[in-house]
Amino acid sequence: MHIQVITGEGWQGATKQLKHLKELHDWIGEANQLVHAEAYSAAGLVEILEVRSATKQELLVLECSRDQIQAVLEWQSETEDLVDLEDLVIHLVRRAGLQP
């Protein structure tokens, strides 16, 4: 499993990397690859990512809190030996306004 944490906002709005990921998402057009983290608690986000990872290899998670990011990183550590999750890529976009 590969996890990338992205700052949601740069000096001029969304970072180039976030804009690129959103463009890729629009091009692919699969709504089930996009997760809105604000709809879940930290534990709930991990649960939905477990479900989504069964059918998807790349997920974009928007509006993540610090607690949610920490929970996903802990889940990554707990599951590092699982071959099923080896190719999974998760992009966690930090909620705007959170300090690094």
Kindly state whether residue 16 falls inside one of the protein's structural domains.
yes
Share of the chain above pLDDT 90, in %: 37
Number of domains in the chain: 1
**Is the pLDDT assigned to residue 33 strictly greater than 70?**
yes
Three-state SS letters, the chain: CEEEEEECCECCECCHHHHHHHHHHHHHCCHHHEEEHHHCCHHHHHHHHHHHHCCCCEEEEEEECHHHHHHHHHHHHHCCCCHHHCCCEEEEEECCCCCC
Q: What is the pLDDT of residue 49?
A: 95
Q: Tell me what the mean pLDDT of segment 57-69 comes to.
A: 90
Kindly state whether residue 100 falls inside one of the protein's structural domains.
no
**Is the pLDDT assigned to residue 82 strictly greater than 90?**
no
Kindly state whether residue 99 falls inside one of the protein's structural domains.
no
**Total-model pTM:** 0.77
Give the range of the structural domain holding residue 32, as residue numbers without chain letter.
2-94
